[in-house]
Amino acid sequence: MEKDHAIQTKPLSIGILGAGAAGLMAVYCLSLEAENWEKAHKQKFPAQITLIDRNKKPGKKLLATGNGKCNISHEDIASYSYYYDQVPFLEALFQAFSPKKLLQFLENRGLLLKTDPAGRIYPHAEQAKTVLDFFLRQIKEGPVTLLSDTKMTDLLYDPTQEKPFVLQDEAGHSYSFDRLLLAVGGCSGKNFGTDGSFFPTLQKLGLAVTPLSPSLVPLKTSFPLQKDLKGVRAKGTARLFLDSSFLAEESGEIQFTEYGLSGIAVMNLSRHLTDPAKKAVVELDFFPHMTEKEVMRYLEHLVSLYPQEKGIFLLDTLLQQTLGRVLMTSLFPKKSNQPSRLFTKEELLFLAKQCKGVPFPIAGTMDFSFSQVTRGGVKTEMVYPGTMESKTIPHLYLAGEMLDVDGPCGGLNLTFALLSGYLAGQALFDSLRLS
């Protein structure tokens, strides 16, 4: 699209910065309201909406979500599904527009959804593209101009001006607006256009930003045989200890990479790793449905059945083989190749204990480019939860991941982006006070 620096010619101009889930949802709502308004009033909608993104096309990250299938929500989302300090804000937001209402809205508007056995909700077509197409189909109908491939580097605010918001792009062009929605995301996945570079601009405007760190991100370990575990997948419970104190646990898939641990269970723990000074250990329990005693009894049973088998057999018959072998080699470097009958009761007890909690020393998280979501962002106290309007700057709205809200894996982050985008879109329309 040609860059249009004369968008102020229309009576009212609305800028939406960021064509991710939140920005697209807001523009969708505005476009729908505009269409209805035009039908009812039989005249042109008296506002021009400009959707701006630094990427060449809108929805780049959306297309990558849920491994290309877009885990858009979860059947069981409540405010307390997110993290403790975010609950009051989300409670108020859900009263204005709840996750259930969001799902009804999407289905009523033609986006059929389906739920997997774990409660995760996807588009029925299991393709993220269906979701992006859903937004774009409506946006095409409304008074929306798409300004792509345009990275904004600054925002000036002067309430004395007729159009108080002026965005400036990398090339030094200015774009003035009466109303502005910021939906620039966090710092996660910079190849999708989100590198956090807009946060200093927000701080300059007086918007408080909480510390930013990668979340839903793989962990680096200093486990000596880590490289040998590359590619292994297992199910279990991961428990996080900081300075020897238990902090949190998550169950589900655990993936081993060359450098550390990944998979949903581990990624969900990652948001707690914000202080590198604290010694972090993740204990992996590969037998969450058995007690230590039960594991011990079963190990003794195996020894009695197969006393001549090498020690390594004790774990490679109970766990994914590579995982079993590597763990056994690390725990009993010499004995793992000797007959199982030579294991003493104490050694079997030690083995049972390790099966219930193999300690992986953590050497930090991978960086933002590996993370799915950002912990931290603009303080939620800075916006009204029913409209997403700034409490300090009238007619400025903020939505999505750029706010200090993040959730565990399972559709919660897209849900928040869509809910807040919807509320901002509706509030923007209401702010036009059209009769």
Ligand X SMILES: Cc1cc2nc3c(=O)[nH]c(=O)nc-3n(C[C@H](O)[C@H](O)[C@H](O)COP(=O)(O)OP(=O)(O)OC[C@H]3O[C@@H](n4cnc5c(N)ncnc54)[C@H](O)[C@@H]3O)c2cc1C
x-marked contacts with ligand X along 153-192 as a string, rule CB under 6 A: ------------------------------xxx--xx--x
> Using CB under 6 A, which of 15, 20, 260, 357 touches ligand X?
20
Q: Helices H, strands E: what count in the chain?
A: 12, 19
Closest CA to 47 of 181, 168, 205, 184: 181
> Using CB under 6 A, which of 220, 401, 426, 431 touches ligand X?
401
Is 194 a binding residue for ligand X by CB under 6 A? The answer is yes
Closest CA to 284 of 330, 346, 317, 332: 330
| Total of chain residues touching ligand X, rule CB under 6 A | 39
> Using CB under 6 A, which of 131, 152, 327, 432 touches ligand X?
152
Residue number, 197 or 210, with CB nearest to ligand X? 197
Instruction: Calculate Rg over the CA atoms of the chain.
Output: 26
Is 15 a binding residue for ligand X by CB under 6 A? The answer is no
Tokens, residue 219: 């962990």
Q: Where are the beta strands (DSSP E) in 124-232?
A: 144-147, 152-157, 165-169, 174-177, 179-182, 213-215, 219-221
x-marked contacts with ligand X along 25-54 as a string, rule CB under 6 A: ---------------------------xxx
Is 263 a binding residue for ligand X by CB under 6 A? The answer is no
Burial of 56 (0-12, 13-18, 19+ CB in 10 A): exposed
Residue number, 209 or 417, with CB nearest to ligand X? 417
Residue number, 254 or 414, with CB nearest to ligand X? 414
Do 196 and 187 touch, CB atoms closer than 8 A? yes
> Using CB under 6 A, which of 87, 113, 115, 151 touches ligand X?
151
Stretch that binds ligand X, among 55-63, 130-138, 158-166, 288-296 (CB under 6 A): 55-63
Is 417 a binding residue for ligand X by CB under 6 A? The answer is yes
β-strand pairing of 396-398 with 373-375: unpaired
Which residues, other chains included, contact 193 with Cβ-Cβ below 8 Å and sequence gap of 6+? 20, 53, 54, 55, 60, 61, 185
Is 21 a binding residue for ligand X by CB under 6 A? The answer is yes
433 Ramachandran zone, left/alpha/beta (phi>0; psi -120 to 50): left
Residue number, 168 or 320, with CB nearest to ligand X? 168
> Cα(398)–Cα(389) distance, rounded to whole angstroms?
6
Torsion angles phi and psi, residue 413, rounded to 5:
-75, -40
> Using CB under 6 A, which of 139, 326, 412, 428 touches ligand X?
412
- Smallest distance, ligand X to C-beta of residue 58, A: 7
Tokens, residue 353: 């204990």
Torsion angles phi and psi, residue 314, rounded to 5:
-60, -35
> Cα(185)–Cα(193) distance, rounded to whole angstroms?
9
> Using CB under 6 A, which of 378, 414, 423, 428 touches ligand X?
414
**Sign, CA torsion 152/132/396/403:** negative
- Smallest distance, ligand X to C-beta of residue 389, A: 17
> Using CB under 6 A, which of 29, 146, 373, 388 touches ligand X?
373
> Using CB under 6 A, which of 97, 198, 223, 422 touches ligand X?
198
Residue number, 314 or 399, with CB nearest to ligand X? 399
x-marked contacts with ligand X along 60-89 as a string, rule CB under 6 A: xx--xxx---xx------------------
The residue whose two tokens read 């005249």 is 43
One-letter amino acid identity for 172? Answer: G
- Smallest distance, ligand X to C-beta of residue 126, A: 12
Which SS3 state, helix, strand or coil, does residue 386 take?
Answer: coil
Which residues form the interface with ligand X (CB under 6 A)?
Answer: 17-23, 52-55, 60-61, 64-66, 70-71, 151-152, 183-185, 188-189, 192-194, 197-198, 372-373, 400-401, 411-414, 417
